[in-house]
Amino acid sequence: MVNDNSSKDSLTRDLALVEKAVQGNQPAFASLMSLYEDSLYHMLLKKVGDPVIAEDLTIEAFTKAFQNLSRFSPDYAFSTWLFKIATNNCIDYLRKQKKDPCARDKGQSNSTQPDIVDYAFGPEENFIREQRQRLLREIVDKLNPRYRQLILLRYFDELSYEEISVQLKLPLGTVKAGIFRAKDLLYHILKNSRDI
């Protein structure tokens, strides 16, 4: 009985946070991230076995969830929807590795999109997407220029680590470490904005 109540409480809490996040409330989305980041990361780590890749897949899952929040159906638990996005991302990554074992870190395909996106966006949905993109950009703009450039190239331009390394004339390890640090800084920016 206690489990049913706590389950209902978490569903109610998540739905309230999603509704606020859809309206552009950054702290609400940061709260959702805080609630699910660890469990999502550990699930992905078990599947891919690489902490850096698991971290990338975790960030990508949250990014896709944030961009598609208006598509979330309250008929389902937010956690189920989020984990489905992450699982689909992971499957895409693992498929790519099977096809081309040297393809590591070349970015994930967007094949999770059919599960969460209707291709015919209305004016309201386009407005919400644009608002979210602006919000994401504002968050990224808070980084120092070095980290901002790495995040923009990796997640907005969807370049692989290798492509970024070539473009910036930096060693691959430096690029990976910089992106890892930038993601950590972004997480702290979001987490700290929860208190605003």
For residue 26, report the phi and psi dihedrals to the nearest 5 degrees.
Answer: -60, -45
What totals of helices (H) and strands (E) does the chain contain, helices first? 9, 0
So what's the pLDDT on residue 194? Answer: 57
CATH for 2-142 is 1.10.1740.10
So what's the pLDDT on residue 183? Answer: 85
* Three-state DSSP class for residue 160: coil
CB within 8 A of 56, min separation 6: which ones?
Answer: 105, 183
| Segments of the chain with pLDDT less than 50 | 1-3, 101-119, 196
Give the pLDDT confidence of 109-158 residue by residue, as tens digits.
444 444 444 445 567 776 777 777 777 888 888 889 998 999 888 888 78
